[in-house]
Amino acid sequence: MSALDRIRGYQDEFVAIRRDIHANPELGMQEYRTSDLVAAKLAEWGIEVHRGVGKTGVVGVIRSGNGEAAIGLRADMDALPILEQTGLPYASQTQGVMHACGHDGHTTILLAAARYLAETRNFSGTVNLIFQPAEEGLGGAEAMLKDGLFQRFPCDAVYGLHNSPGLDVGRFVSSSGARFAGCAFFDIHITGKGAHGARPNEGIDPVMVAAHLATALQTIVSRNLPAQEAAVLSVTRIQSGDAYNVVPENAVLAGTVRCFKNGIMETIETNMRRLATAVASGFGAEADVDFRRLFAPVINNKDEAAFYADAAEAVVGKNFVFREMPPTMASEDFGAMMEVVPGAHVHFGNGPSAGVHNHRYDFNDESIPYAAALFAEIAERKLARGA
C-alpha cells in the first residue's frame, strides 16, 4: 500500500484534528494548547517528544534502523490576529484570532506524516519532526535555532511546505533558488517642533518631513539598486497629530521592505538611513530609523529542490509537479533554518479558496493526504534502507 493510500485511511481522524486546531487558534509564542495536542499525539504513536524548543515549539524524533543520516520535516503552528468571517461550524472560538494562513493544516499534515512514519518505519536513520511556533513575524524559527535546534537534533537536510490557494489539490511546486522574499519592517521617528496651526513658521513640521520622505524612499529601489534585482519598499503608515489647528512635534512613518538577497537588504537599509537623516535635516528636524529584519529569504538548495520534486512526482505523477515557478514577495521564516541547514520548501494546492491572510480563508482538508504523503516519501527516499 502506498503512503498516500495508507494516510487516506486516517483522513477522518486528521480532519477532526485540523478543525479542532482551527477552532482554537493561538498567536505566536502562545501556542500552548496546540503544543499540548501535538505532544500528546506524538506520544500516543510512540514517538520521542521534546517540549519547549523555542518556548512553545515541539520536536518529535523517530529513529529506525542503523542509518546515521537525519532529516528535518517542519510545520508552523501559529494563527493571525484576524476576525474570522467564514461562518463555518468549526470557525475560530477566539475573538479576533484566526488560522487565516493554513498553519492548522500544516501542523495536521506533519502529524499525519508522523503517524505513518512511526507505524511503518520504512527508513534507516532519524526523522526530526519540527513543529515551529511564531512564524508570522515573531521569530519562531530564530527562537528554535537559538535554543539549539540543530545542535540537539542534527539534520543533513530540512524540508518545509505551504499551501497555495488557487493551485489545484494534488499539485506541487518545487523550484530551485529564491522562493520567498526576505522581509524587514521599519519605523522612522521624526522629531520637529510643535506650533500653532496658524503660525507654522514658528515650528518645524514633521508631517511635511514624513510626506517628502515617503516619496524620497521610493528612489531607493529605482535609483540605488541594479535594475535586474527585485525589491519592494512600501510605506504603509504615517501617523502624526491629534488636532486640526496644531502643528505636531512628532510623526512616525512605517512600512516594509522585501527582496531576495541579504546584500540588497543591506543596501536598502543603508540608503534609508541616509535619506531619513538628510531629508529631516533639510527641514531642521531629526529622524531616527528602526530597521528590523524579520525574515531571511527562502532560497531552495538546487539539489534538494530537485529531490523534493522527484518525491512529489512519486506521489502524484509528473504532470502534477511544477519545477519552474516564479518566487513570491511574501515571506516565510523557514529561510532562517535553511541558512543553517540545506533544504527546500514546496507549495501544495489548496484549491479555489480565498487567499491567505483573508478573513474568509479556509484550509482544504482534501490536501492533507497528498502533503503528508510527500513528507513520508521524502523520509523514505532520503533515508532509504541500504543506502
Give residues with Cβ within 8 angstroms of 326, minimum separation 6.
none
CATH number at residue 341: 3.40.630.10
**Spatial contact of 57 and 132, defined as CB atoms under 8 Å apart:** yes
Pairing between strand 182-191 and 250-259?
antiparallel
Average pLDDT over residues 290-313: 96
Residue 6, pLDDT > 70, answer yes
Please check whether residues 28 and 150 belong to one and the same domain.
Answer: yes
pLDDT tier at 325 (50, 70, 90 boundaries)? confident
Let me know whether 323 and 271 are in one domain. Answer: no
For residue 387, being part of any structural domain is answered with no
Task: Output the domain CATH number for residue 221.
Answer: 3.30.70.360
pLDDT at 337: 97
pLDDT digits (tens, 9 = 90+) for 359-384: 999 999 999 999 999 999 999 999 99
Task: Tell me what pLDDT residue 387 has.
Answer: 65
Q: Which residues pair with 49 in a beta bridge?
A: 60
What are the tens digits of pLDDT across the range 348-357?
999 999 999 9
Q: What is the mean pLDDT of the chain?
A: 96
Q: What is the pLDDT of residues 87-116, one digit of tens each?
A: 999 999 999 999 999 999 999 999 999 999
Residues contacting residue 368 through CB under 8 Å, at least 6 positions apart? 7, 11, 14, 15, 18, 105, 108, 109, 112
Are 103 and 135 in contact, with CB atoms under 8 Å apart? yes
Q: Hey, what's the cell of 88?
A: 463555518
Number of domains the chain contains: 2
Do 99 and 221 share a domain, yes or no? no
Is the entire prediction scored with pTM above 0.85?
yes
* Residue 297 predicted with pLDDT over 90: yes
Q: pLDDT tens for residues 176-214?
A: 999 999 999 999 999 999 999 999 999 999 999 999 999
Rounded to an integer, the average pLDDT of 149-171 is 97
- Cell 505523477 locates to 317
Domain boundary among 254, 272, 295: 295
The DSSP result for 70-89, as a single string, is EEEEEEE---BS-------T
Tell me, what's the pLDDT at 312?
98
pLDDT for the residue 324: 87
Rounded to an integer, what distance in angstroms lies between the CA atom of residue 180 and that of residue 76? 16
Helix (H) or strand (E) holding 127: strand 125-132
**Sequence-separated (6 or more) residues with CB below 8 Å from residue 270:** none
Report the percentage of the chain scoring pLDDT > 90: 98
Whether residue 46 is found in the same domain as residue 165: yes
Mean pLDDT in residue range 158-172: 97
- Give the pLDDT confidence score for residue 139 in this predicted structure: 92
**pLDDT band of 137, cuts 50, 70, 90:** confident
Q: Show the domain range for 259.
A: 182-295
